[in-house]
Amino acid sequence: MKAVIQRVSKASVTIDNKIVASISYGLLVLLGISDEDTQEDIEWLSKKIANLRIFGDENGVMNKSILDRDGNAIVVSQFTLHANTKKGNRPSYIKAAKPEIAIPLYEAFVEKFQQDLGKVVQTGEFGADMKVELLNDGPVTIIIDTKNKEY
């Protein structure tokens, strides 16, 4: 799994001119799923994101997690995170999981992330044409690939 985590002052997801998700202070997580991803990736990534210390403390130092700040989150599926751009100018998405594999893993990630945060996590709609709007706070943007994890 690949995730792009952005600390936001606000974020929203719109589908067909209707806002389907909206948060104030928290995290926007763009999630790409590959055929190789497993439940172990879900568990590790969810815990890692929930505990990432990328929010400011009382001294303005990034020393607090979303849990510490009681922030909210939106998770949006994004197969394009698995784009291969090595050859030519048209990206290949061959590493991105097909919907029959990706949807259950995406839903399992959202469920696990909700458990780790102890609150409802808003989402986009898998496979939909979404408009994602955000005000990146910092800016703080972190990229995590579970294939590069260390214990």
Catalytic amino acids? 78-80
Q: Which of 143, 94, 103 lies closest to 125, judged by CA?
A: 103
CA distance 85 to 150: 26
Length of the chain: 151
Q: Are 121 and 113 in contact (CB under 8 A)?
A: yes
